[in-house]
Amino acid sequence: MDEELGDLTESDFILPPIKYEYLDHTADVQLHAWGDSLKEAFEQCGMAMFAYMTEMAYVQIREVHTIEANADDMIGLLYHFLDELLFLFSAEPFLICKKLVITEFNTEEFRIVCKCYGEEFKIGTHPQGTEVKAITYSAMQIIDEPKDHKFEVFVIIDI
């Protein structure tokens, strides 16, 4: 199917006008977090999300807020836990969390209460990292294997 350069005629070199554009760009990143317990893996996952949004070195602990999450199963609980955290950041108080401490981790009634330590996000003080648009259920995984001492979560977030 190849043709030699000699076969190209003058008109072959005339270029067409541009009639295209590039539209909105979506992306995601997968968070992988672990701990000595599933509770710790959840806390770490939440902190991973916040660390993606800004440089954590610029964030100080000045306030503490409490969030609650409820669901019908563990996957749903992880989703709603992260979604509540994201809401803390997306609406007032626009909190960036540097530290999360889950005070109630009920894996039977699927309920989490969590203390969120951090400070209000302020442009100028805090570098803007990547905006997290949404938590997704896509390929979400919870590894809860106490025998092997394996407690891990995988969550894909839209950015």
> Which range touches its own copies (CB under 8 A), out of 17-25, 70-78, 102-110, 140-148?
17-25
Give me the 34-73 binding string for its own copies, x by CB under 8 A, dash otherwise: xx----xx-xxx-xx--xx--------xxxxxxx------
Residues pairing with 120 in the sheet: 95
CB of 7 to its own copies, least distance (A): 7
C-beta closer to its own copies: residue 72 or 101: 101
Would you state the structure tokens that stand for residue 3, as one six-digit string?
């043709």
The identity of residue 112, as a single letter, is I
Determine if 33 is a binding residue for its own copies (CB under 8 A).
Answer: yes
Sign of CA dihedral 59, 60, 66, 71: positive
Determine if 140 is a binding residue for its own copies (CB under 8 A).
Answer: no
> Which range touches its own copies (CB under 8 A), out of 25-33, 71-79, 104-112, 120-128?
25-33
- Nearest by Cα to 149 from 68, 38, 50: 38
User: Can you tell me the distance from the alpha carbon of 116 to that of 85, in angstroms, rounded to the nearest whole number?
Assistant: 8
Q: Are 22 and 59 in contact (CB under 8 A)?
A: no
CB of 142 to its own copies, least distance (A): 14
The identity of residue 152, as a single letter, is E
Q: Which residue has the tokens 């960036």?
A: 96
Which residues ranging from 104 to 123 are in contact with its own copies (CB under 8 A)? Answer: 117
Q: Are 95 and 121 in contact (CB under 8 A)?
A: yes
* Interacting residues toward its own copies by CB under 8 A: 1-3, 5, 7-8, 12-13, 15-16, 18-35, 40-41, 43-45, 47-48, 51-52, 61-67, 93, 98-99, 117, 154
